[in-house]
Structure 1
Amino acid sequence: MANPTPAAIQQYIADGLHCTHLEVDGDGQHFFATIVSSEFEGKSRIQRHQRVYQALGDRMRAEIHALSMKTLTPDEWSAQA
């Protein structure tokens, strides 16, 4: 199986989680995602990451070797800008 591309990982996340902003970078083995979603409101960092893992499903075990994430609410994202 070929390594997934950042664009593929981005699409997998977008298909399973409504995002207002989503960026994924990586080299085919290690990926970094910035994910902004209103679904993260009131959630801990662990709960946010679990929600992204849920969106990725079995791909996290089968295709994606490593994924680092920055998970933000829209308000947190706006405050950073």
Structure 2
Amino acid sequence: MANPTPDEVQQYIAAGLPCTHLAVEGDGQHFFATIVSDEFEGKSRVMRHQRVYQALGDRMREQIHALSMKTLTPAEWAAQS
């Protein structure tokens, strides 16, 4: 199975999680994603990451070797910008 591109990983996340901002960088095995979603409101970092893993499903085990992520609510994203 070919390694996914950052664009493909971005599409996988977007298909399973409504995002107001989503950016993915990577080399085909290791990825870094900045994910902003209303669904993260009131959730811990662990719960946010679990939600992203849920969106990726089996791809996380089968295609994506490593994913680092910054998960933010829209308000947290606005405060950073």
Regarding TM over 0.5, the answer is yes
Counterpart CA distance in 2 for 1:20 and 1:39 is 10
- State TM-score, norm by structure 2: 1.00
1:37 maps to which residue?
Answer: 37
Amino acid at match of 2:49: H
Shift of the alpha carbon at 1:46?
Answer: 0.1
Q: 2:47 matched to 1:47?
A: yes
- State TM-score, norm by structure 1: 1.00
| Runs of 4+ more than 2 Å apart | none
Q: 2:61 matched to 1:61?
A: yes
Number of equivalenced pairs: 81
The alignment's C-alpha RMSD in Å is: 0.2
Q: 2:18 matched to 1:22?
A: no
Structure 1: gaps of 5 or more residues = none
Question: Taking every aligned residue pair, what percent have the same amino acid on both sides?
Answer: 81
Counterpart CA distance in 1 for 2:67 and 2:50 is 12
Structure 2: gaps of 5 or more residues = none
